[in-house]
Structure 1
Amino acid sequence: MNTQMLGIIDACTNTKSLQPLTSYRSIAALPFAGRYRLIDFALSNMVHSGIHSVALFPRYHYRSLMDHLGSGKEWDLNRKRDGLFIFPPMIENNLFEAPSVFSQLRYHINYFLRSTQKYAVIANSYTVCNINFQQVLARHIDTGATITEVVQNGESLHMYIIETETLVDMLQNSTYDFATIEDFVAYMAQCSKVLPYEHVGYVATISSTQSYFEASMDILSSQTWKQLFMKERPVYTKVKDEPPTRYATGATVKNSVIANGCIIEGHVENSIIFRGVRIEKGVVIKNSIVMQKGIVKTNSLLNSAILDKDVKVGPGFKLIGDTNMPHVIAKGSIQGALMKS
């Protein structure tokens, strides 16, 4: 029996509720957990499930996403056969109207026609979890479902398994142009068997700044970390060679994730610090996220804040948000006295 699967990642989603974090990048490329991007979870799940052909369909601000993925080497997808395929959005006559997800799949239908895999896994790029699609496929085959939908506690995780032939038939013959994959599944549910598969384990859906902040704080729990970053199913990401983080005399770090290449001279607590960040003496950072190459100058205070990449905070500056509404600083911004220098 042919039980091979191909992977389809819908990276078309865009939402204003994540800005300014997604002003210059897609949700799929959003940095997460100190050294990863959200796309890493979908890709790693597929690779660990034996999927060797993955098609990615981006739409908005996908330059940084393509830079992150490269040839797919880190996920063992730089292959002579199959591998990672990135399909840019189709060109529309109306530049103000984005093409539907279904029309993008239809535009690149040759990929599906040339595929030999019997089943297709359709996933989004904004769900953080660690899932084995082989188990979902086994349930799909046993139940004889047309579509198997991954859910948790009755809520859809927007991940599905469908026979490739069924998907191709809809792409070729359907007169409907579904705006989203969810619209397509809802349509199929009217006349076909769409059955659930209950996923057990940690899940976070990143759809807003608040949900991003909450998920980031969740991974500071050892229980959550163990459910996401399993030794037997690691999350792969782009490798960057940087030196170990240097902790100065008097530095304090409590319950935090610190990536490599940092210099820590101040106090960091319940926070996530990405690669290459410098935190100077007298700085206090709590319940916050500082992304790559940020600089926080001496005696500054951050609490419930999210600093995007390359943000510089001047000496003695205070940035205090709320756990229900974290203060977000856009990429490359300069805060405090440095603004006048």
Structure 2
Amino acid sequence: MKRKLLGVIDATTYHEDLEDLLTHRSLAALPFAGRYRIIDFVLSNMVNSGIRSVAIFPKMQYRSLMDHLGSGKNWDLNRKRDGLFFFPSPIVDNDGNKIGSFEHFAANMDYFYRSTQEYAIIANCNTIFNMDLRPILDWHRQAKCDITEIHHQDGNSMEMYMVKTSLLIKLIEGRHETGYTCMKDVVTAIHNEYSICHYEYDGYAVKIDSIESYFSTSMKLLQSDVWKKLFLKEQPILTKVKDEPPTKYVQDSVVKNAMIANGCFISGTVENSIIARGVKIGKGAVIKNCIIMQKCQIEENCYLDSVILDKDVRVEAGTQLTGTTKSPYVIRKGLKQGALMNS
């Protein structure tokens, strides 16, 4: 019992620089690596670490997130006891970048009161990493810490906190007296009655908080050494399973250093790009250094370089779109882009 963990994922985070990709979804549900969503990484880490009770705390635009997570079956969380819980925020104007809002937690106190796990891990939803959380719990207990904040080896906080569930409940209940609004307030308080420890994680971890970080992190996945650090056989990243036919590559199509999901139809050239499910790329089209999301259609003789197409975008024949690695060209979900629009 003492070694059991309660998983808490704060999915309220919002960054204005990602606005073009978040008009129809929360950051947690942002597609990544062709077939995943960003929340898959922290959720899979929890499940792979033996956590069997996970609470998701979203705020707005969470329909896509709920559709993706469903009952939690793909993460083995559709259980009669414990399992996956979903607690939308009743607060519209709270700060979406304070991880672990005590006001949000307070609206769902029954979840914490009824939990049988002695410890809880609170995490953000937008860090790409693959971590076994059990060694952190062992370290936390041996060091006799009240709260452990997990830091990356670069010195930055990963916005993840290990704490006894009873202390978490105390912090939530006493939020008005202490003035603490979230976990960050507690660990950064100058006068603190708690033992605050810092655990350094030396593995691969990147926080997605801008278009630039989303694009650069995605492109680095095309490097085999980065891929091997993130996708581990013994700690798989789990996601919603979809049954689609294999991708079809027609004669004269060219594919170099690309990740291409199922259900695509490739007639053109794809280089250094990530292509999601159901994408159609026409004859003579050239796609370089791009992220193409689900069910996009790129017609004949298009040229795209450093471009992000959100889901269901149609690019008409002969269109040329060019961005940069620092500022990729982004087209929002469901829009049509044509050659005449660029002239």
Q: Please confirm whether the aligned pair reaches a TM-score higher than 0.5, indicating the same fold.
A: yes
RMSD over aligned Cα atoms:
1.8
1:65 alignment partner, SS class? helix
Q: Which of 297, 303, 306 is residue 301 of structure 1 equivalent to?
A: 303
Distance 1:221 1:200 in 2: 19
Q: Which residue of 2 is the match for residue 136 of structure 1?
A: 136
Report the Cα offset of residue 173 of structure 1: 2.5
Contact 1:102–1:177 (Cα < 8 Å) also in 2: no
Distance 1:33 1:63 in 2: 21
Q: Which residue of 2 is the match for residue 75 of structure 1?
A: 75
Report the Cα offset of residue 190 of structure 1: 2.6
The letter of the residue matching 1:150 is: I
Q: Which of 204, 207, 217 is residue 206 of structure 2 equivalent to?
A: 204
The letter of the residue matching 2:246 is: P
Q: Which residue of 2 is the match for residue 230 of structure 1?
A: 232
Distance 1:161 1:64 in 2: 28
Q: Which residue of 2 is the match for residue 168 of structure 1?
A: 169
Distance 1:60 1:185 in 2: 27
Runs (5+) with no aligned partner, structure 1: none
Report the Cα offset of residue 178 of structure 1: 4.3
The letter of the residue matching 1:53 is: S
Deviations 1:77-100 (A, max 9, x none): 00000000001112x5xx656698
The runs of at least 4 consecutive aligned structure 1 residues that moved more than 4 Å come to: 95-100, 176-180
Q: Which residue of 2 is the match for residue 260 of structure 1?
A: 262
The letter of the residue matching 2:81 is: R
CA 1:281–1:36 in 2, change beyond 3 Å: closer, same or farther? same
Q: Which residue of 2 is the match for residue 11 of structure 1?
A: 11
Distance 1:87 1:263 in 2: 39
TM-score calculated relative to the size of structure 2: 0.94
Contact 2:102–2:175 (Cα < 8 Å) also in 1: no
Contact 1:28–1:126 (Cα < 8 Å) also in 2: yes
Deviations 1:12-33 (A, max 9, x none): 1111110110111100000000
TM-score calculated relative to the size of structure 1: 0.95
Contact 1:118–1:164 (Cα < 8 Å) also in 2: yes
Q: Which residue of 1 is the match for residue 104 of structure 2?
A: 104
Contact 2:27–2:38 (Cα < 8 Å) also in 1: yes
Contact 1:314–1:338 (Cα < 8 Å) also in 2: no
Contact 1:49–1:134 (Cα < 8 Å) also in 2: yes
Distance 1:189 1:308 in 2: 46
Contact 2:186–2:192 (Cα < 8 Å) also in 1: no
Q: Which residue of 2 is the match for residue 335 of structure 1?
A: 337
Q: Which residue of 2 is the match for residue 292 of structure 1?
A: 294
Written as runs of structure 1 = structure 2, the 5 A alignment for 1:32-43 is 32-43=32-43
The letter of the residue matching 2:232 is: M
Contact 2:310–2:331 (Cα < 8 Å) also in 1: yes
Contact 1:313–1:338 (Cα < 8 Å) also in 2: no
CA 1:21–1:186 in 2, change beyond 3 Å: closer, same or farther? same
Q: Which residue of 2 is the match for residue 149 of structure 1?
A: 149
Distance 1:6 1:272 in 2: 34
Q: Which residue of 1 is the match for residue 49 of structure 2?
A: 49
Q: Which residue of 2 is the match for residue 275 of structure 1?
A: 277
Contact 1:14–1:60 (Cα < 8 Å) also in 2: no
Report the Cα offset of residue 194 of structure 1: 1.5
1:19 alignment partner, SS class? helix
> Does 2:326 correspond to 1:324?
yes
Deviations 1:266-289 (A, max 9, x none): 110110000000001101111110
Distance 2:141 2:94 in 1: 38
CA 1:275–1:325 in 2, change beyond 3 Å: closer, same or farther? same
Deviations 1:276-326 (A, max 9, x none): 000011011111100000010000000001000000000010000011100
Report the Cα offset of residue 156 of structure 1: 0.7
> Does 2:245 correspond to 1:243?
yes
Distance 2:147 2:94 in 1: 29
Distance 1:213 1:329 in 2: 13
CA 1:55–1:299 in 2, change beyond 3 Å: closer, same or farther? same
Distance 1:32 1:190 in 2: 39
Contact 2:282–2:300 (Cα < 8 Å) also in 1: yes
Contact 1:27–1:126 (Cα < 8 Å) also in 2: yes
Report the Cα offset of residue 184 of structure 1: 3.5
Q: Which residue of 2 is the match for residue 87 of structure 1?
A: 87
Aligned residues: 337
Runs (5+) with no aligned partner, structure 2: none
Q: Which residue of 2 is the match for residue 312 of structure 1?
A: 314
Equivalent pairs: percent with the same residue?
51
Distance 1:111 1:50 in 2: 19
Distance 1:107 1:96 in 2: 15
Distance 1:161 1:222 in 2: 32
